[in-house]
Amino acid sequence: MARDLIRILGLWPARRGWLLAGVVAAICSTLAGLALLVLAGRVIAGAVVAGQAGAALLTGIGLAALVWLRPVMLFRPVARYLDRLVTHEATFRALADMRVWFFRRLAERLPAGLGLREAGDLLGRLVADVESLDGLYLRVIVPAASSLAVVVAMALVIGAADPGLAALLALPLVAALLLPLVLAPAAARAGQDAARAQGALRSAVVDPLTGLEDTLAANGEGRAAARVTAAGAALSAAQRALARRSALGGASGALLVQAALLGSLAWALGAGQDGLAAGLMAVFLAIAAAEALGLMPRAGTSLAAASAGARRLFEAADAPAPVAEPARPVAAPAGHAIRLAGVGFAWAPDRPAVFDNLDLDVPEGARIALLGPSGAGKSTLAALLLKFAAPQAGRITLGGVDIADLPAAELRRRVAWLTQDARLFDDSIAANLRLAAPEASEAELWKALDRAQVGDLVRGLPEGLETQCGEGGLRFSGGQARRLALARTLLSPAPVLILDEPAAGLDADTERAFLQTLDEATAGRSVILILHHLTGVERPSRILRLVGGRAIPAAG
């Protein structure tokens, strides 16, 4: 548990200044509260000892306390305001860093898609588990630092007057301070159950919602609702267990703080005239301490929840990346001829091999038509060429350089892929296109749209290039969205294009028109056309068929 949490803190180096400033602000605010009660205590203790308020005000101590009371009263709300402001700002910044870190780690580990991972569960990790980490700072570190400052200040203030009283007061308060460490391990299991249940609930909701049409068409809403109910019940049970631990911690904390209060009260009553002032002061300090230390035992459950969140994040973030970046990357080659030699590949050790001793040459400027039945491995070949997966045998070279030695980003600048189910993102058409070429001018966007046979459609839209595509491109029909995605790929300056069924979604005439303009759109570039069948207008330089894990020449 401690290792995960220490590692989390290590991931926030850029926010160290903010985090530290938050702790300092919280300590100042708590100590200001303490000082306020100390000063009030002094005035009252002086009055009680002197027998009447007026006389107390005239004693040196009472007068000094009164002088300090006003600035401290003014300082305290300011300190409290700054405390909340800075600690929350520090948390927001640290969590934002954490999300980006986690997202990048996922992107490295899931280049070929989620595979068997559940989208809802990953979303839960990215949102809820990252959020649970705010408890580590806001509900554990900050209160612990403030409480420690309170205990030390109290020991100093009371210790100067009466060390025995200071020990009596400090003992239960130190116990309250340490209680979270005692309670956290027991709460850890409940924290893990709650985090897991939260992930399961998100999956149960996201999965049927993403495919709502299919869920409804199959009358599956009853089953989906039952899954959500079961996942919700599991989450409630886990959260109830966590809440029980939190309540237990809260009650124990209150008990310890009250013990300190009662102890000092008993001392004050039992002390003679000499000890009365110190005893009364201790009562005031115990009241002040209650605010800071009363929260501490609950920090145990926050610690457990943060540790469960951290565990789940690291579980996903530490999975081995399918393709490691080269330890010693080589310079990108000038040429872009592709060669596969003796490539063997299976997606997992227990899955059948997709390729077995595959050889393939794509010379610069060639147009290869790659045919093959469903499941033959056409998309898998594209995944290998973009290093979304790495072959277990053989090598793949680009311009004579093994792609294993090229950084993935360099390779992907040279090879662009229109995937089979290319996705439009929830942004404008222009932004979707510029994913492939961020610097592209408007004229270049229109050129790519025209080449993909979708320029007229976009011209007819009131907002043109600024039209929002909606999530997954829902604003457009399947065929229109595919042509927009094709325009994006054609816009890419990459010298090698892999186009998986580029004419899918086009009617016969438009398909013909598109394939005829392909020459112009891809002039000078190598193109791998993944097709189920040839229409006769593709004019490939070679036709290959993937069969039994190998590429064999096919008749046109």
Nearer to ligand ATP, 115 or 163 (CB): 115
Whether 376 contacts 535, CB under 8 Å: no
CB of 421 to ligand ATP, least distance (A): 9
Q: Which stretch binds ligand ATP (CB under 6 A): 31-39, 194-202, 296-304, 373-381?
A: 373-381
Q: Which 107-166 positions form the footprint of ligand ATP (CB under 6 A)?
A: 112-113, 115
CB neighbour class for 414 (10 Å; exposed up to 12, middle 13-18, buried from 19): buried
Q: Could you say whether residue 354 binds ligand ATP (CB under 6 A)? A: yes
How far is the C-alpha of 61 from the C-alpha of 58, rounded, in Å? Answer: 8
Q: Amino acid identity of 241?
A: A
Question: Cβ neighbours of residue 299 under 8 Å, at least 6 residues apart?
Answer: 139, 140, 143, 144, 180, 249
Which among 46-54, 151-159, 367-375, 508-516 is the span making contact with ligand ATP, rule CB under 6 A? 367-375
Binding residue count for ligand ATP, defined by CB under 6 A? 14
Closest distance to ligand ATP from the beta carbon of 383 (Å): 7
- Residue 347 Cβ vs ligand ATP, minimum distance, rounded to whole Å: 4
Q: Which is nearer to ligand ATP, 183 or 498 (CB)?
A: 498
Provide the residue type at 461 as one letter. L
Tokens of 533: 């069948």
- Residues making up the chain, counted from first to last: 556
Type of residue numbered 492: S
Instruction: Print the binding letters for residues 453-472 with ligand ATP: x by CB under 6 A, - otherwise.
Output: --------------------
Taking the complex as a whole, the smallest distance from the CB of residue 477 to ligand ATP amounts, in Å, to 21
- Beta carbon nearer to ligand ATP, 248 or 416: 416
Least distance from ligand ATP to the Cβ atom of residue 139, Å: 40
Binding flag, residue 386, ligand ATP (CB under 6 A): no
State yes or no: residue 390 binds ligand ATP (CB under 6 A): no
Q: Is 314 in the site for ligand ATP (CB under 6 A)?
A: no
What sign does the CA torsion over 176, 182, 183, 188 have?
positive
Pair of tokens at residue 244: 């029980």
Pairing between strand 415-418 and 496-500? parallel
**Minimum distance of ligand ATP from residue 31's CB (angstroms):** 57
Q: What does the alpha-carbon distance between residue 553 and residue 340 come to, in Å, rounded to a whole number?
A: 15
Among residues 264, 379, 397, 432, which is the contact residue for ligand ATP, using CB under 6 A? 379
Would you state the structure tokens that stand for residue 485, as one six-digit string? 């995605």
Could you give the CA distance from residue 256 to residue 245 in angstroms, rounded to a whole number?
Answer: 16
Query: Which of 62, 208, 275, 372 touches ligand ATP by CB under 6 A?
Result: 372
Q: How far is the CB of 431 from ligand ATP (least distance, A)?
A: 26
User: Judged by CB under 6 A, which stretch of 1-9, 100-108, 378-386, 410-418 contacts ligand ATP?
Assistant: 378-386
Cα distance from N-terminal residue to C-terminal residue, the chain: 63
Cβ proximity to ligand ATP, 242 vs 384, nearer residue: 384
What is the Cα–Cα distance from 204 to 470, expressed in whole angstroms? 23
- β-bridge pairing 367-371 and 526-530: parallel
Residues making contact with ligand ATP (CB under 6 A): 112-113, 115, 347, 354, 372, 374-380, 420
